[in-house]
Structure 1
Amino acid sequence: MTATNVDAIGEKEKSDLFVKFEKFGKFQTIQFLLICLTLFMISMTHVNYVFVAENINYRCRMPECESQNQDMKTPSWWPEDVDTKCYKPILNDEHLMSNQTCTNASFSGVIEQCQHWVYENNNSIVAELNLACQPWKINLVGGIHNAGMIFSMMFTGWIADKIGRKPTVIVCAVGACIGVFKIFVTSYYPYLAIEFLESVLGSGLYTVGVVLMIEVGGSSKRVLTGIIFSYAVYVGEIIFAFLAMGFQYWKWLILVVYAPMVLFILYIFVLKESTRWQLLRGKMDGAKKTLNAIAKMNKLDIGEKEIEDANDDQLRIMFDVVEQKERENMKVIIGSKEIMTRLSVTSFCFFTSSFLYYGSLVHCVLLPGNKYTNFILAAFTSFPGEVIAYYTFNKYGRRITLQCGYFLSATFLISQNYCPESLSWLKVVLFLVGKLGVVICFTGIYTYSLELFPTSVRGTLLGWGNTTARIGSMLAPLTPLLISEIAALPSILFSATAIISALLLTFTPETKSLPMFDTIAQIDAHKKASQFKEEQCVETPTNPTTVSTKL
């Protein structure tokens, strides 16, 4: 047998071994369930303000004329030309001196700002923190939460690349439970501080969670992983709506959602680190332990000794991981034109997807009908959206699916705004179809970005992309304030950003048939090889030159 044949047999054995480890089995299923459980809980905290800080009905109360325990019905003596919410009429001197019961003749015709209110219920912080006639404070709660996400996304990806995916997941999942302390707060600004802090600690899970799932699931399950990740988020939102419907009092809702998250500390014993990250960072002992766990749980016919005897280079070759001689830092990222193009385009797409997604969640409770039903319908729309995304991503490609999704959402979101109010059912249907397009983009941009960025800086770059997404989600809760100026303005903004994103995607490549690159150098080399191949095809169209891009 020749040396060439021996090498060929060795390569085949390595390839077969890699396929065995890549096969989705019990190990991957358990890891996915563990990560999805954290995403399920975090997604509920991320939309808590939709119901916890919802605006409720109220009216002004005059202590001079009525007792504290009053109902919402406007008193018969209230002047017809005075706003019942934010202003109160001033009593005339004659009434003040006589101390009589208030009547229509008791007022001087002058008004002043109201200082006391009667609330419809105490189901939100509006009543508890006395936020009547301060709509900017109510909408700011969601904005502050998403501002915290910006800080979280800026650093979580970088931390996950440095210390590992597993510890970052645990810190984020456990850290978010600090939000339970909001139930003890009695004033507005301390409440905002805790809202911001819980978001800073927990929101990074959106970045590191999907990265760990992609790296655990393997290259063959990239699209499916993105779908499962999104389903975990959507299920959390739906369950949260049902919980809000059942525990309408906001403190009970906070307690039920946040308190159980402290149990994620137990993930220290059950969650495993990404093998790909361990091999890339030279954590070979940890990588071998993880591989042994995979072999044992998936019942692979691979002995522990076989894994332990494999040297570092053999393991890297087996999993097609390139050893990093030098760490790729921000200077290397900025120096790569291809990476910067991909980062710029995906960052704007992240902004748009998040702006549209959380904007639709905020506006769905403003649609005609029951707010809880509308929220649940909007969340349920996500499931067929994910199925469509999964099918079209695999059949037609990532980029074209995203572009169609953006155009779809732009068309229907603007259409529902101009639908006659008398056709309330049609208005809701158009909105839900638009939300369907939003879901395709919201899921798709995560999967697409994971494939565009290399392993060495995937967490960092995805974190930067998620940072711009949080700017979108921070601005989304503020868009209802625009309705008082121009009713269609929020829909116009949503549609404009969607169309711009669809056009920008023409500058990034299709990743459907591309491998998962590990370094920026690989991506730059692949780009040059692709350009060389295109040039050769132009020069010799009848006999095109084939250029290998395998790295």
Structure 2
Amino acid sequence: MHFDEILCVIGGFGKFQKLLYVWICAPQIFLAFHMFVSIFTGAVPPHLCRPTWSSADAPSSSNYNLSLLSFSDGWTQLSCSTFLNHSSLGDGLSAGSCQGGWEYSQETFQNTIVTEWDLVCDNAKLNNMGSSIYMSGLLVGAVLYGHLADKYGRRIIILVNLAIQAVFGVGAAFAPNFYVYTALRFVLGTSISGVIMNAFVLGTEWTGPKQRMLAGIITDYAFGCGYILLAGMAYLIRDWRKLQLAISAPGFLFIFYVWVLPKSARWLMASDRKEEAWELIQRAAQMNGNPLSKDLEMQQVYKVEEKTEVKKKHSFIDLVRTPKMRRHSLIVFYLWFANVLVYYGLSLNISDFEMNIYLTQLIFGLVEMPARTITLFTLNRSRKISQLAFLAVGGTACLLTVFIPNELSVIKTGLAMVGKFGITASLSIIYVYSAEVFPTVIRQNGIGIGSMCARTGGVLAPMLYLLKGISPRAPMLLCGLCPLLGSVLTLLLPETANTPLPDTIEDVEGPNLSEEDGGVNPVVDSQTSLKKMESCSIQADR
């Protein structure tokens, strides 16, 4: 509460915070590049098995067309099989494995990791596994750098991860084989997670309560801009190594962040480094045009509260110890998982919609802008209904694509866009909603485990399309059913819009909760906290 009161005096979103968000948003563009570049670097162009016949058996035309699977002289070629002569086999057509390698169409892509390392047919699963390993890096990074940021601070972790991102991103452009490339991308994934998570936290910790939702959406817009720009870059750069280098090398320019990126004063105060925190607060106040007196330092920063109660220590076990808390936690964890699974399931497999891949990527990126904007108008009315409605829209649209024939690719892609719209909006909401569902004493644990569930969904997303071996409709069927289930489960969550945040587990469970079940004496007066926040808002308006 003390730091929020200070922010109200110095300005919750003044010039200092606006400049901070410039520094935070700039890397978000490059994070989007790295997140979705595999759509193009790992694309599978049309390919056919290279012929290995002798000169006597060769077909009359050696200049065959990759778009054709048959020739007028009776020869047939399959993408994973060698040439076979119909006349010698009669009706009993059989195919041998491809021994001579593959010929790839260069109509759309000059070169991809698939064409360079032949990740097709028997090796096709390696491509999907590579994407999943990259997503595993995001999971490891969320766990590792979340802990390190709490220990060493947000700023240093952001700087370290920006450096890792540049070095390993450029290194991936020169990878000698698929396995080295995948290992480099894994480390790159850990750094992406470290930057995304800690940049968001750094911005939030410097922003006043009234502006936090808007500030969080600003970073989403920057990520969306990167999503859109990637389509243009990939269209102009058709070689995967050059494209990987183009999105990675500019990362070295972020070296100047060493001098301009501020630390988190809130974290410094929590770490008992109050003098350093006060210097930052004074600098922010000066930049915002609200210089502070020394009295505020003595009254707010160095103030020592007398505490008569003994605080109960909490752990992640408290998320599932009591009935309501268990129900809320499990539902929120599932919503994180389902949102990210479907978001990346749609985003990373746009080639499945059989339209121009660059145009589809551009439209998918453009869809993100209105999807994130609309949440600004719906969230303050109702978190619960907003979450429920957008999950229902996204799930229903994805489910309808199952019933659209492949010939109607425009309609199928249009429905996928609507699905992407709903899921993107839902994903923006879950950040805010989950932070308000968990009480203060276990909020960080709840958000941390929710993030792990989200990354698990990200790991599984590239593997969704391996389900095509079971049924061509299976991936989109799953993308439809998972959000619809989440929409139904959202009905069991509380409404948190325009209500005070719960501080203790007892605030969630009610007054009948015993101390043995995780209840504590209500030493924190929620009404007093609410009045302080209202006072803060009044000061900010003035």
Q: What TM-score results when the alignment is normalised by the length of structure 1?
A: 0.81
Tell me which of 27, 32, 39 is aligned to 2:28. Answer: 39
> Are the equivalent residues in 2 in contact too, given 1:22–1:218 (CA < 8 A)?
yes
Corresponding position: 1:88 with 2:82: yes
> Are the equivalent residues in 2 in contact too, given 1:416–1:427 (CA < 8 A)?
yes
**What does residue 504 of structure 2 align with?**
523
**What does residue 369 of structure 2 align with?**
383
Compute the displacement of 1:415 (Å): 1.1
**What does residue 164 of structure 2 align with?**
175
**What does residue 5 of structure 1 align with?**
none
Distance (Å, rounded) in 2 between the aligned partners of 1:421 and 1:47: 24
One-letter code aligned to 1:364: I
Compute the displacement of 1:509 (Å): 2.9
> Are the equivalent residues in 2 in contact too, given 1:351–1:470 (CA < 8 A)?
yes
1:500-515 matched pairs, under 5 angstroms: 500-515=485-500
Compute the displacement of 1:222 (Å): 2.7
**What does residue 363 of structure 1 align with?**
349
1:40-439 matched pairs, under 5 angstroms: 40-63=29-52, 65=54, 72-73=65-66, 80=74, 82-89=76-83, 111-121=96-106, 122-133=110-121, 134-177=123-166, 178-303=168-293, 305-310=294-299, 312-314=301-303, 329-330=315-316, 341-394=327-380, 396-439=381-424
Corresponding position: 1:449 with 2:443: no
One-letter code aligned to 1:438: I
Compute the displacement of 1:489 (Å): 1.3
Inter-CA distance 386–527: structure 2 relative to 1 (3 Å threshold): same
Tell me which of 421, 435, 448 is aligned to 1:463. Answer: 448
Question: Which structure: larger Rg?
Answer: 1
Distance (Å, rounded) in 2 between the aligned partners of 1:14 and 1:160: 19
Task: Name the SS of the counterpart of 1:356 in structure 2.
Answer: helix
Distance (Å, rounded) in 2 between the aligned partners of 1:514 and 1:468: 27
Inter-CA distance 59–148: structure 2 relative to 1 (3 Å threshold): same
Larger displacement relative to structure 2 (57-66 or 476-485): 57-66
Inter-CA distance 86–422: structure 2 relative to 1 (3 Å threshold): closer
Distance (Å, rounded) in 1 between the aligned partners of 2:512 and 2:269: 31
Distance (Å, rounded) in 2 between the aligned partners of 1:218 and 1:53: 42
Larger displacement relative to structure 2 (112-121 or 367-376): 112-121
Distance (Å, rounded) in 1 between the aligned partners of 2:230 and 2:302: 48
**What does residue 537 of structure 2 align with?**
none
> Are the equivalent residues in 2 in contact too, given 1:207–1:462 (CA < 8 A)?
no
Distance (Å, rounded) in 1 between the aligned partners of 2:308 and 2:188: 37
Distance (Å, rounded) in 2 between the aligned partners of 1:15 and 1:50: 42
Task: Name the SS of the counterpart of 1:23 in structure 2.
Answer: coil
> Are the equivalent residues in 2 in contact too, given 1:72–1:118 (CA < 8 A)?
no
Task: Name the SS of the counterpart of 2:163 in structure 1.
Answer: helix
Inter-CA distance 225–346: structure 2 relative to 1 (3 Å threshold): farther
Distance (Å, rounded) in 2 between the aligned partners of 1:90 and 1:416: 36
Inter-CA distance 451–171: structure 2 relative to 1 (3 Å threshold): farther
1:159-182 per-residue CA deviation (whole Å, 9 max, x = no partner) reads 222222222222222222212212
One-letter code aligned to 1:409: G
Task: Name the SS of the counterpart of 2:353 in structure 1.
Answer: coil
Distance (Å, rounded) in 2 between the aligned partners of 1:308 and 1:421: 67
**What does residue 521 of structure 2 align with?**
none
**What does residue 30 of structure 1 align with?**
19
Distance (Å, rounded) in 2 between the aligned partners of 1:189 and 1:432: 34
Distance (Å, rounded) in 1 between the aligned partners of 2:169 and 2:44: 20
- CA RMSD of superposed structures (Å): 3.6
Distance (Å, rounded) in 2 between the aligned partners of 1:441 and 1:119: 39
Larger displacement relative to structure 2 (370-379 or 423-432): 423-432
Task: Name the SS of the counterpart of 1:118 in structure 2.
Answer: strand
Distance (Å, rounded) in 2 between the aligned partners of 1:324 and 1:438: 43
> Are the equivalent residues in 1 in contact too, given 2:44–2:115 (CA < 8 A)?
no
> Are the equivalent residues in 2 in contact too, given 1:226–1:446 (CA < 8 A)?
no
Compute the displacement of 1:450 (Å): 3.1
Tell me which of 476, 493, 501 is aligned to 2:478. Answer: 493
Inter-CA distance 207–449: structure 2 relative to 1 (3 Å threshold): farther
Inter-CA distance 374–294: structure 2 relative to 1 (3 Å threshold): same
1:502-530 per-residue CA deviation (whole Å, 9 max, x = no partner) reads 2333443333224567xxxx332433567
Larger displacement relative to structure 2 (421-430 or 119-128): 421-430
Inter-CA distance 325–290: structure 2 relative to 1 (3 Å threshold): farther
Distance (Å, rounded) in 2 between the aligned partners of 1:482 and 1:273: 46
Aligned length: 505
Task: Name the SS of the counterpart of 2:428 in structure 1.
Answer: helix
Distance (Å, rounded) in 1 between the aligned partners of 2:308 and 2:89: 84
Inter-CA distance 215–135: structure 2 relative to 1 (3 Å threshold): same
Inter-CA distance 400–309: structure 2 relative to 1 (3 Å threshold): same
1:22-77 per-residue CA deviation (whole Å, 9 max, x = no partner) reads 4311111111111111222112101111111111112222355589x977546987
Task: Name the SS of the counterpart of 1:366 in structure 2.
Answer: helix
> Are the equivalent residues in 2 in contact too, given 1:409–1:433 (CA < 8 A)?
yes
> Are the equivalent residues in 2 in contact too, given 1:398–1:512 (CA < 8 A)?
yes
One-letter code aligned to 1:526: D
Task: Name the SS of the counterpart of 2:120 in structure 1.
Answer: coil
Task: Name the SS of the counterpart of 1:206 in structure 2.
Answer: helix
Distance (Å, rounded) in 2 between the aligned partners of 1:256 and 1:498: 36
**What does residue 544 of structure 1 align with?**
none
Unaligned runs of 5+ in 2: 514-524, 530-542
Distance (Å, rounded) in 2 between the aligned partners of 1:123 and 1:193: 20
> Are the equivalent residues in 2 in contact too, given 1:530–1:549 (CA < 8 A)?
no
> Are the equivalent residues in 2 in contact too, given 1:54–1:138 (CA < 8 A)?
no
Inter-CA distance 288–470: structure 2 relative to 1 (3 Å threshold): same
> Are the equivalent residues in 2 in contact too, given 1:385–1:439 (CA < 8 A)?
yes
Larger displacement relative to structure 2 (266-275 or 231-240): 266-275
> Are the equivalent residues in 1 in contact too, given 2:399–2:481 (CA < 8 A)?
no
1:136-174 per-residue CA deviation (whole Å, 9 max, x = no partner) reads 122222111111111112222222222222222222222
Distance (Å, rounded) in 2 between the aligned partners of 1:61 and 1:482: 28
> What fraction of aligned residue pairs are identical, expressed as a percent?
25
